[in-house]
């Protein structure tokens, strides 16, 4: 999906940091409005990103090739952003390699999941990432599990059990390949953010470039392993994928970077949840996919867990 940088804006007083997210969302200062609109734009674009992907597939471009071409479209912007930053690759080469490969699978798996599965279900399973992030923070970063973290774990687990419940087997289990892809993408997203937090000596531009390059590498490797050919995709379809990456994906990434840089992290995390709303509305309008009541209920638990995970940043 995207690399979330640490907020570098003006620090809020301690008493303000302890206010609820609802109050902080309402207390938006004029100079922060552009950042809020930037994040809403990014969340909306990510929520409807599945639609051009399916159009490309309908015109003969497999998901792996779409992934490769879309991220190749980001290369001109990457070269521009990386001017003066190339030397940072030698500061933490192994961590950047890990960021590249994990981010590569995260984005590739997400694209394949929205092409194969139910849009809303895929988005909700992806947003189990707070569950994985909490566990990784405890196991890898040695972060202490506070009461809020335990609530996040409990709610995310409950949502996962409800959504993945398989009546025939009497246990929660992914039902389709798209479920596995969405779950692994969310897990990878959480791992990427843990790796990013552990790599403080390089700029967000270098981390973003590593992520984009990682997607290209992973897509190429999977194409070689599966023997997937380019097929009958026309030159227009191929160029459309490149333009989608050069314009839309770059805008989605840079608007996130801009928004998170100018807002507190917890506020940004809550606004980015709008992606699920955008995905759900667009799927209802543009597809005939049906979301079961069980999936809505489980998804509600997942979104609440994500909300509380963002809320926990206020106390950190």
Nearest to 245 by CA among 49, 14, 41: 49
Record the pTM: 0.83
Nearest to 145 by CA among 137, 189, 302, 129: 137
| CB 88 within 8 Å of CB 148 | no
Nearest to 108 by CA among 230, 254, 272, 222: 222
The pLDDT profile of the chain, 316 residues, written as one tens digit per residue, is 655 555 444 444 444 433 443 444 445 555 578 888 898 999 999 999 999 999 999 999 999 999 999 999 999 999 999 988 889 999 889 999 999 999 999 999 999 999 999 999 999 899 887 778 777 777 776 767 777 777 877 888 888 888 888 777 667 778 889 999 999 999 998 888 888 877 878 888 899 999 999 999 999 999 999 999 988 899 999 999 999 999 999 999 999 888 877 777 667 777 888 898 899 899 989 999 888 888 888 888 888 887 777 666 555 5
Structure confidence at residue 72 (pLDDT): 97
Percent of the chain surpassing pLDDT 70: 85
d(CA 279, CA 57): 18
Residue 276: Cβ within 10 Å count:
21
Residue 9 buriedness (CB in 10 A; 0-12 / 13-18 / 19+): middle
Structure confidence at residue 12 (pLDDT): 43
d(CA 154, CA 116): 29
Structure confidence at residue 135 (pLDDT): 79
Structure confidence at residue 9 (pLDDT): 42
| CB 161 within 8 Å of CB 217 | no
Reading the block at residue 225, the tokens are 């392993």
Nearest to 3 by CA among 163, 245, 193: 193
Structure confidence at residue 243 (pLDDT): 97
Structure confidence at residue 119 (pLDDT): 93
Supply the DSSP symbol for 273. Answer: T
Supply the DSSP symbol for 136. Answer: H
Residue 246 buriedness (CB in 10 A; 0-12 / 13-18 / 19+): middle
d(CA 290, CA 287): 9
Structure confidence at residue 224 (pLDDT): 96
């Amino acid at each position: 999906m995207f690399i979330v940088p640490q907020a570098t804006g003006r620090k809020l007083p301690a008493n303000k940091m302890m206010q609820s997210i609802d109050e902080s969302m309402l207390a938006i200062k004029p100079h922060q409005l552009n950042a809020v609109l930037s994040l809403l734009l990014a969340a909306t674009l990510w929520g409807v990103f599945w639609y051009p992907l399916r159009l490309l597939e309908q015109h003969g471009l497999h998901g792996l090739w779409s992934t490769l071409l879309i991220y190749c479209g980001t290369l001109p912007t990457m070269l521009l952003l990386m001017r003066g930053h190339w030397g940072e690759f030698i500061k933490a080469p192994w961590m950047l390699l890990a960021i590249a490969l994990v981010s590569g699978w995260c984005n590739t798996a997400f694209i394949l999941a929205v092409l194969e599965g139910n849009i809303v279900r895929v988005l909700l399973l992806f947003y189990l990432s707070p569950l994985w992030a909490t566990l990784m923070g405890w196991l890898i970063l040695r972060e202490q599990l506070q009461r809020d973290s335990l609530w996040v774990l409990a709610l995310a687990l409950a949502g996962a059990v409800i959504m993945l419940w398989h009546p025939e087997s009497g246990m929660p289990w992914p039902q389709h390949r798209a479920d596995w892809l969405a779950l692994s993408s969310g897990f990878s997203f959480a791992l990427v953010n843990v790796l990013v937090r552990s790599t403080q000596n390089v700029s967000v531009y270098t981390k973003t470039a590593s992520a984009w390059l990682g997607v290209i590498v992973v897509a190429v490797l999977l194409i070689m392993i599966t023997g997937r050919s380019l097929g009958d995709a026309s030159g227009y379809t191929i160029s459309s994928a490149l333009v989608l990456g050069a314009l839309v994906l770059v805008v989605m990434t840079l608007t996130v970077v801009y928004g998170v840089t100018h807002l507190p992290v917890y506020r940004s995390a809550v606004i980015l949840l709008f992606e699920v709303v955008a995905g759900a509305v667009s799927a209802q309008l543009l597809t005939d996919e049906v979301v079961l009541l069980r999936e809505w209920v489980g998804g509600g638990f997942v979104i609440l867990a994500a909300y509380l995970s963002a809320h926990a940043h206020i106390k950190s």
